[in-house]
């Protein structure tokens, strides 16, 4: 089941991020629970969690990036639940939220330390762009930026 993330989910959301196996050189591995809570509770920001029973096994965040773009971030699933389509469902939840809030596209950045996920996003219709990623960590190499246009109903 996919549902909106709650602030009470922050510890579990953070645990999933840390269990996901991101390269330790990535700024991802330095995110604290306090930073995560601030990001999820920022204006027009939020996230979704994937549940297996009552246990959070997947997560994704989002935040506005101007009036037409929603930025997807922090997509992660626990290694033992991969292959069940939860990552795709979490991405689709963000895309629906983008559509529901009148955004025309979803943007995301892939760390140079996590390029093996590019085929996953490309399979979901994301394409590389020359757009800059406004939230890039200055101490990290520039990420690969991908976007997907969202059809409005």
Tokens of 75: 């997509």
**Tens digits of residue pLDDT in 68-121:** 999 999 999 999 999 999 999 999 999 999 999 999 999 999 988 888 899 999
Determine the straight-line distance between the first and last CA of the chain, rounded to whole angstroms. 25
DSSP 3-state assignment of 55? strand
**Which has the higher per-residue pLDDT, 64 or 29?**
64
Exposure letters 105-130 (e unless 16+ CB within 10 A, then b): bbbbbbbebbeeeeeebeeeebeeee
Q: 3-class DSSP state for residue 81?
A: helix
What is the model's pTM? 0.93
CATH number at residue 66: 3.40.630.30
Number of structural domains in the chain: 1
Task: Give the pLDDT confidence score for residue 47 in this predicted structure.
Answer: 98
Model pLDDT, residue 128: 95
Report pLDDT digits (tens) over 8-44.
Answer: 999 999 999 999 877 777 777 788 999 999 999 999 9
Contact by Cβ (8 Å): 136, 109: yes
CB-CB neighbours of 73 under 10 Å: 18
Confidence of residue 152 (pLDDT cuts 50, 70, 90): low
pLDDT value of position 70: 96
Print the domain residue range for 57.
2-149
Residues 149, 70: Cα–Cα separation, whole Å: 11
Q: Answer whether 94's CB lies under 8 Å from 2's CB.
A: no
Q: Is the per-residue pLDDT at 58 higher than 50?
A: yes
37-62: average pLDDT: 96
Give 92's contacts (C-beta < 8 A, 6+ positions apart): none
């Amino acid at each position: 089941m996919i549902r909106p993330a709650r602030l009470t989910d922050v510890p579990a959301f953070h645990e999933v991020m840390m269990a996901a196996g991101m390269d330790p050189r990535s700024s991802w591995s330095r995110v604290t629970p306090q930073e995560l809570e601030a990001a999820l509770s920022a204006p027009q920001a939020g996230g979704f969690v994937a549940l297996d029973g009552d246990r959070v096994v997947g997560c994704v965040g989002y935040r506005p990036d101007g009036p037409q773009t929603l930025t997807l971030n922090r997509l992660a699933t626990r290694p033992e639940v991969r292959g069940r389509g939860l990552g795709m469902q979490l991405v689709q939840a963000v895309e629906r939220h983008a559509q529901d809030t009148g955004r025309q596209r979803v943007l995301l950045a892939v760390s140079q330390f996590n390029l093996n996920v590019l085929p996953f996003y490309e399979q979901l219709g994301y394409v590389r762009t020359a757009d800059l990623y406004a939230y890039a960590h200055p101490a990290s190499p520039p990420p690969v930026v991908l976007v997907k246009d969202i059809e409005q109903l």
